[in-house]
Amino acid sequence: MNCGEIRALLVEGTLPTGAAVDAHLRECAACGELLADGALLGRQMPAIGPEPVDAGVEALLGEMHAKLETDRGLSGYLRARSTPLRLVLALLGAALLVLSQLLFARRPDLELYPLGAMVSVLVSYALLLGSTLAVDLRPLQRAPPPRWLWIGLVASALIVPLVIAAGPQVHTAHALANRGAGADLIPRALRCFLYGGLLAVPLLLLVFALDRREHRSWPSLLLAAASGGLAANLSLQCHCPITHPFHLLAGHVTIAVALLFAYAVIGAVRMGRARNGWPA
Amino acid sequence: MKSDEQLMAAYVAGDVSAFDELFRRYAPMLLRVIGRQMRSPDDARDLVQQTFLQLHRARHDFDPSARVRPWLFTIALNLKREHFRRVLRRPEAPLELDGRSDPRVPPHDPTRSEVAQAVRSAIDGLPPDRREVILLHWFEGLSFPEIAELVGASVSAVKVRAHRGYVALRKELEPPSGNPRRPDGIGDRS
């Protein structure tokens, strides 16, 4: 006797008895609960009858085909790539951003910038960006990331640029190093904010195209925003010669803040609509 | 008849009819399993469609040496959890009965309807992991090894969840002392 046979007897209204039942109950505590106390629970569970056979499966399959038809084009192609390949594509996108700055808009003080400091900043941003993308593009057949992980990554996307910006000024050797302080603060900061923000847009679009979710959850929205902020700071690190902390805080770090705020607003609006039963 | 894994391999190779066959095999079961926990049939249908959309998008992630069923159910259960987090104020909040009688119970049997409502309410009050196991064990008739594979836990963990779930249900459905309720249909165990 097994659980299914005991269940079948209870559903047809027969109380399971006999040596075979007793032998099963010695090994199965769950069935023991169903039959305990005069089968109190086992008598009541069958009150919820079998679900009616859904005659609409073919219609649902038809709707499914229509959905699959719309899942074509470049984004359909990208979303259907394997997860390792999607991650590589996202990282390549970030690498192209950095390369574009190094080739066409390199910071003029690169030779004066302490090598150790430059390497640590670039490696920190790259590792954090890679981790954020890996968690954001995680496939749905795997368990969702634990809360501490995605919150930690989003917080790090704010904290790491903040720490880098607020630390001791790496050098003042170049004429442009202290631009962006005093009266020049806001215009220069705004310029970098807009430039870095625009640089982040292609990566944000790429991450959107690679994400397989139909409905984005809070973690995926905020991780995407964090990726954009990190990519912007990484690119600006290769472009902007101003090392003054005020400029870095006002013009570079604020990009991540703005993106996180924007995505949080989008997420709140969408979830409010979902709770009210409106289309997302 | 082709196995699920053969169908999946065929679909990855481009055979659309293999997807249709997988859909016909698993959509009804997923509709039942998910539907019991959703506010409306439309939500359940939407989640089932999203599950198969994810199967389509993730087909190149599928490991040919793995089994399709637990892979598909993991996607469905993860989507269901995300749905509850998005739509409800608390994750996996038990659904409140809206006072309508259970449509699956004959309308001329009010006692059975009350029992069904009580059982449904008790199941809805279970923690999500125990509720899932009970739904798969009692309503879908799956064995514990099958359930363990679907939910991604060990067999012993699943058995513990089922036992604790049934214990909680029995306590919830116990009549007040001195007034044993005897639903129709089952003879005495004597």
Indicate if the alpha-carbon torsion angle B80, B85, B88, B93 is positive or negative. Answer: positive
Is the pLDDT at B178 greater than 90, yes or no? Answer: no
Structure tokens at A217: 């959850």
With tokens 């594979």, the residue in question is B149
Task: For chain B, say whether A88 makes contact (Cβ under 8 Å).
Answer: no
Q: What angle do CA A75, A80, A85 make, to 5 degrees?
A: 100
CA of B1 vs chain A CAs: smallest distance (Å):
20
Name which of A28-37, A264-273, B61-70 the model is least confident about.
A264-273
Looking at beta carbons, which residues of chain B come within 8 Å of A141?
A: 54, 58, 61, 71, 74-75, 78
How far A26 CA lies from chain B's nearest CA (Å)?
13
What is the four-CA torsion angle of A82, A83, A89, A94, rounded to 10 degrees?
Answer: 170
What are the pLDDT digits (tens) for A50-106? 655 555 888 999 999 999 998 889 999 999 999 999 999 999 999 999 999 999 999
B187: pLDDT strictly greater than 70: no
Q: What is the pLDDT of residues A118-158, one digit of tens each?
A: 999 999 999 999 999 999 999 888 878 889 999 999 999 99
Instruction: Name chain B contacts of A216, Cβ cutoff 8 Å.
Output: none
Residue percentage of chain A with pLDDT more than 90? 60
A147 touches chain B (CB under 8 A): no
A161-213 confidence digits (pLDDT tens): 999 999 999 888 888 888 888 888 999 999 999 999 999 999 999 999 999 98
Residue A200 makes CB contacts below 8 A (sequence gap 6+) with A228, A229, A231, A232, A235, A255, A259
Contacts of B39 in chain A (CB under 8 A): none
Under 8 Å between Cβ of A256 and A248: no
**Cβ atoms B156, A27 nearer than 8 A:** no
Give the global pTM. Answer: 0.78
Smallest Cα–Cα separation from A247: which of A156, A165, A168?
A165
Minimal C-alpha gap between A241 and chain B (Å): 43
Residue B31 sits at the chain A interface (C-beta within 8 Å): yes
For helices B155-173 and B144-151, angle between their N-to-C axes, nearest 10 degrees = 100
- Please give the distance of CA B165 from its chain centroid, rounded to a whole number: 14
